[in-house]
Every structure is written in C-alpha cells, then in structure tokens.
Amino acid sequence: MPVELILLLLSPLFVGFIAWEWYHSKQAVPARYRWQDTLANAVLALLHQGSDMLALLLLMPFFLWLYQFRWFDIELTAGTVAVAFLLQDFLYYWFHRASHHIRWLWASHVTHHSSRLMNFSTALRQSLTYPLSGMWLFWTPMIIAGFSPTTVFAVVALNLAFQFFVHTQAVRSLGVLEWLFNTPSHHRVHHACNPLYIDKNFGGVLIIWDRLFGSFVAELDDEPCRYGITDDFQSDNPLTITFYEWRRMWRDCLAQPSLGGIVRTLFGAPVKPPPATAQKTLSGG
C-alpha cells in the first residue's frame, strides 16, 4: 500500500530528526521532550499505521468500485501529479478544519493535540480510529474526478510526510516561505491552546487556504504558545489518549433524552471547556 510504504521508507529519517532535536534541546526550559510522552507517541504511530493498513485492505474494493464512475481518465504526468497534490491539500484543509468543529471527527483528531509538548515526535501522535471517523471520505472526490486510488493515497502519504517537519520549536521563521507554506511557526499556533490561537492554521502543506478562508493567525512574539487541549487532560497511556474523547462522547450520548440530542452530540461542535479555565492547569511546553 503506498501510504504505509512511503511512510515506512521515511521512518529512519523521522527517527533521526527526533534524535537530533532531542539532543539539541536538552537545555531548553521548559523541557521539550519527556521520554514517556515520546514513547506514547511512538506506540500511537504504530497503532495508527496498523489500523490504516487494515482500513485500506477493507476499503480498497470500495475505492476501485468508485473509480469506475470517474469523470475523467487522468494520466500520470508532472502536471497531473501537481494538480493531484494541490487538490489533495485543499481537501486536507477542509478535513482538518472539520475535525476541529465536528465532534465525531474531533474524537479521533484530539489524540494528536493532547500532548502538552511540541516536538518532532508529536507528529507521530495519531489515532487508530481515523478510519472509523471517516477521514478517507475526504479523498473520494479525487477518485471520482479520475485519479486512481493508488495515486490518491500516495499523495496523501507525501502530504503527511511533509507535516512531520512542521512539528518543532527548533525553527523560528522561514522568511518569505511563511506566506505560502505551512511552517513550524504556523503549526505551533495550530497546536496552541491560547484563546487567540485555538482552531487556526489548518493547512497541510500550503497555508494559502487559511489565508483565503479566514482561519490564519500568525505566531506572535508576545503570545508564547501553550500546547495541548483546553481540557485538563494528562496521560501517557496510548489507549487512554486514543479513547478519551470517544468515551466522553458515548457518555454524553447516553445522557440525551432524544434521537435529535444524540445526533447533535455526535455531529455538533466538540465540547471544550473555556480556554481561560483550562489554562490554569497547563504548564508551558
């Protein structure tokens, strides 16, 4: 499968960058790494990869069936690959934005935001429940348009691989590139729970979608990022991290007196405490 193969081939590079950053940030205050947090991130990455492989095996017949209804027969050229990359990044923006505003999607995505630290290993902190929440649905327009499933998921893998490198505090600014690309500075904002920064900067590779659709905020020198979610959540247990929001959502569904209430619980906005309250429990990171 292209997604797993591409990310597997790049895994030694990812491990090398984590080791380099950890070594060079040993004197940072507050600490940028905790071995318990990093170990949890590694386990979560393995669980995520396993669930993705299983989901692709189960869903590939559906993707191939859907592909027969494609609008165009798109041949692979440098131009069409560029179009595929741009289209997938656009769709990723909307998936990512929806994941912060629809609780069913947030139940998976919150795993990635739950660490109080920000470093390269945070990129590995992914949920095994993404196939259940339906991340794959956002790529189906590309298959209908005429891109083969193999091409689509290869582009998805490249997009995700790029995003590994924006999870760091080691790079402050990339100058003019900040206008076009998602950068470490922009992504630090995305992971911050400061009221100014919450639910901003959803771009994968390009930041232009945030600039176009009003979700962009620049990192400010006088507003240091505080990482994590607004809930008072602290855990290094991969299963606790994975199912934290799913359990809360299930509990809230059981408390609803009507079907309409259950639907609103599942697909309405995520339930988050006010940032000002949650901040009292947070340490810098």
Cis? peptide before 30, omega within 30° of 0: yes
Digit-coded pLDDT (tens) for 200-247: 999 999 999 999 999 999 999 999 999 999 988 989 999 999 999 999
Judge contact between 284 and 194, C-beta under 8 A: no
* DSSP 8-state symbol, 283: -
Tokens of 47: 């669980």
CB-based burial, 247-266: b 16+ in 10 Å, e otherwise: ebbeebeeeeeeeeeeeebb
Judge contact between 278 and 231, C-beta under 8 A: yes
| Cα dihedral 202, 207, 213, 219 sign | positive
Determine the Cα–Cα distance for residues 187 and 10; give it in Å rounded to an integer: 21
Judge contact between 8 and 19, C-beta under 8 A: no
How confident is residue 273, by pLDDT bands cut at 50, 70 and 90?
confident
How confident is residue 36, by pLDDT bands cut at 50, 70 and 90?
very high
Tokens of 174: 């990339």
- Can you give the residue range of the structural domain that contains 187? 2-281
| Domains held by the chain: number | 1
Percent pLDDT > 90 in the chain is 88
Determine the Cα–Cα distance for residues 284 and 27; give it in Å rounded to an integer: 15
pTM, two decimal places: 0.92
Which residues face 181 on adjacent strands?
206
